[in-house]
Every structure is written in structure tokens, then in C-alpha cells.
Amino acid sequence: MVFSPSFSYLTIISLLFHLSYFSSIEAQNDGLIVKLFRKSSSKYMPNIVQAPIHAYIGQHLMEVYIGTPPIKISGITDTGSDLIWINCVPCDGCYKQINPLFDPRKSSSYSNVSCDSSECNNLYSHECSPENQCSYNYGYADNSVTQGVLAQETVTLTSNTNESISLQNILIGCGHNDTGTFNDHEMGIIGLGRGPLSLISQIGPLFGGKKFSQCLVPFHTDIKIASKMNFGKGSQVSGEGVVTTPMVITPNPVSYLVTLLGISVEDTYLPYNSKGDASKGNMLIDSGTPPIYMPNDLYDRVANEIKNKISMEPIINDPSLGTQLCYQTNINLDGPNLTFHFENANVVLTPIQTFVPPKEGVFCLAINNQTEEEGIFGNFAQSNYLIGFDIEKELISFKQMDCTK
């Protein structure tokens, strides 16, 4: 989800694990305690730290366990924000969720963060409660808001070798007034941005560096089919077909910004700007925003070229579709493919990633126009790509693959 400069944002995760017949190993780094639960016959530390991700109604939900005893949480996988937050008891002003709210009073590992702490000072927007707790108020570009307190809690992930990894003293937001465009399966947001409070910034140094990779399944996929988020060691994107583009580092400590030079609709190249130039860092890679967003000028040229490449006539008399470019069809379109020409990396998108069905018998272009010059490469476009984010090397890598397998 895109950061709103007047606030900030957070997120949370949840992952399946089994604690029976496991022994434990502890390690500590900068106050963060890691406990690895593993079967007594196992002789190795985990190779890859992971979390499952499911696609549901425009968002990809990551699963982790929070607290002691651990409670499974499903939160929006969000590379566009850095904090981790969940709906907590009491939450009278919050949006409705189908799962029980997290109750910090029932967790023996929960502790509030004081307002005068260095952790509280890392928050973009915070204030002191009467009890000297670190209170926050974070907002998103879609006008969603979370309000609550910063806390330390245990988060449990797993590995590709089935160990369960208990991470103590993880900073999370415990939200008590959360509103906006959330659906009832979303229990919070898992921030994966570059900021100091994101999940990857907190755990990366323990598992081989601040880097992770994701493979998001398309939204037509059965929700029971999960893909994986890999953290640290073993999350590299390698092999045939990998393309890599540099991150553009700005004073904004959260965003993954890259440079888009232009877009090809099949064999027709359209520069990012009609003048032929492209400013550095003009595209945000954001897994918390579903569609692609691009400036009005680029959108008009891309949409017109797509219409020229499709033999069908677009729908023009359906008010429910607004100004979207849509076609009457029961199956997705046969083309055209779009190539996003990032700096040093060409990423090809098929109709699976660029057309979505808002209702039965209709497919619409999953690209929106906006007045801002900075665009957004949303999660529709990211599906069926293994995408690696390496904060330390300041690189983002893409490898096309079937994320359902």
C-alpha cells in the first residue's frame, strides 16, 4: 500500500508450524532473540526462512504466528510500507474481520514500548500516551488508517526444512482503531519496505542479510494454493532468464523505487514521457497496491495502443465500469503482451497480469491513470514472477515462473 506522507504504515504476517517433538536453540542479535525449534534428530540450522502467501480479493496475505501461545495471523504483504501491525483487543472502531482479534493480555511475551525509547523514535508519526506508551497514527494513500501502540512481541516463522523459528522482541503495532479498505480476511499489514521497523529490516541480519524474494500467484488461483516468501539466505533470484534493475535511493526510507524507461505494447515502444526522457525512481514496486498506476500521458498512449492491437470493440455503455478499458469476454484476452523497460531489465507482462475480471463476462485493463508523475507497479503485474529485493546491494530482480507450483 502506498505511503501517505502525512502518516506511515505497518504490517503483519503468519506462518504454519508444529512444536511437538522439537528442541530449541537460541541466538541473540541487537536485542532480538531467535529460538529455533527443531526435531531432535535434525542436525542443521534452517536453509531458508519462509512464510506462505495466499491471494484473496486484490491482496496477498502472508501467514505468521504472533504471541505466546502463538496465534495465526494473516496480513497484507506490503512492500510499500515498513511497519507491522495487527488488529488488537479492544478494537471497537476497527473494520470487521472473520478471525478473532489478537488479545495482548493473553500473550506472555507481549510488552508495550515506552514513549522515550529509541524504538519509538523510529516511528514516522508517534506521540506519548498518558501511560508513557508509544502511540502511533499511520495512514495510507487509499485513506486507510491504523491507530494504536508500538509493542514488542514474539513472531514465529518456519523454514524450508520444517523448523519453526521463534523471533522474540519483534516490534509490531497493536492497532485499536483501524479503518479503511480492508476485507474481513485481512488482520493487519506486514510491512516489507526498507524502513527500520519493517519485518525484513528487523530479521534480515539474523538470516543472511536484508533481502527477500516473493512469488505471488494470480488472483484467479484457488485461495488454498500458497506461494512462498523467502527471507535472507537462500532468497536470491538466480538462473536463466533473470533480469535485474537498480533501486533508486531517495530520502524516503521506505519505498522500493526503480526507473521505468518506457513500455512496449507488442512491438510498439512508448517512452515514459512524451518528451522521451524518464526521471530516476519514477516507479514504485508495491505489493500492497493491486493495479498498475501511471501518469495520464503514458496511460493514454498505452491504452490507445492496446485498443489498436485488440480486434474486439471495448465496452462503452456500462456505467458500473467507469472509464476502465474493458471487453465483453468470458475468458481472458489473447493479447497483447506489454514489456516494461526498466533500467537494465525488460519485464514482459501477459494478459494474466494486465487484465482482470471485475464481473462475470468482462475483463478490464488493470492499469489506472493518475496525475502524479511517479507510477506504481502493483501486485497484479508482479504475479507469476519470482521477485527478489536486495536492500544491501540495492537491486531488484525478476524471473518469470508459475508461482502456483
pLDDT tens for each residue of 241-266? 999 999 999 887 889 999 999 999 99
* Percentage of the chain lying above the pLDDT 70 cut: 88
Strand 145-159 to 59-66 pairing: antiparallel
CATH number, residue 262: 2.40.70.10
Q: Is there a single domain that holds both residue 80 and residue 173? A: yes
User: What kind and span of H or E run contains 369?
Assistant: strand 367-370
Residue 238 counted as domain residue: no
Q: Is there a single domain that holds both residue 160 and residue 295? A: no
Q: What is this structure's pTM?
A: 0.88
Residue 32: band (very low, low, confident or very high) from pLDDT cuts 50, 70, 90? low
Residue 154 counted as domain residue: yes
Q: Which domain holds residue 276?
A: 243-400
Residue 78 falls in the annotated catalytic set:
yes
Based on the structure, what is the number of domains in the chain? Answer: 2
Q: Which of 180, 200, 231 is the last residue of a domain?
A: 231
Q: Is there a single domain that holds both residue 303 and residue 224? A: no
Strand 164-179 to 145-159 pairing: antiparallel
Query: Is the predicted pLDDT of residue 9 greater than 80, yes or no?
Result: no
The 3-state secondary structure of 214-280 reads EECCCCCCCCCCCEEEEECCCCCCCCCCCEEEECCCCCCCCCCEECEEEEEECCEEEECCCCCCCCC
Tell me the pLDDT tens digit for each residue of 366-384: 999 999 999 999 999 999 9
Q: Which residue has the higher pLDDT, 28 or 214?
A: 214
Q: Which of 231, 252, 267 is the last residue of a domain?
A: 231
State how far the Cα of 84 lies from the Cα of 86, in Å rounded to an integer.
7
Q: Is there a single domain that holds both residue 253 and residue 181? A: no
Q: Is there a single domain that holds both residue 122 and residue 192? A: yes
Tell me the pLDDT tens digit for each residue of 265-298: 999 999 999 888 899 999 999 999 999 999 999 9
Q: Which of 207, 231, 255 is the last residue of a domain?
A: 231
- The pLDDT score that the predictor gives to residue 160 is 84
DSSP 105-135: GG-TT-EEPBTTSHHHHTSSSEEE-TTSBEE
Which among 82, 178, 286, 390 is annotated as catalytic? 286
Residue 120 counted as domain residue: yes
Q: Is there a single domain that holds both residue 212 and residue 318? A: no
Q: Is there a single domain that holds both residue 153 and residue 285? A: no
Q: Is there a single domain that holds both residue 223 and residue 260? A: no
Q: Is there a single domain that holds both residue 216 and residue 288? A: no
Q: Is there a single domain that holds both residue 217 and residue 168? A: yes
Q: Is there a single domain that holds both residue 61 and residue 112? A: yes
Place of cell 469476454: 329
Residue 28 counted as domain residue: yes
Which among 78, 82, 178, 390 is annotated as catalytic? 78
Q: Is there a single domain that holds both residue 188 and residue 282? A: no
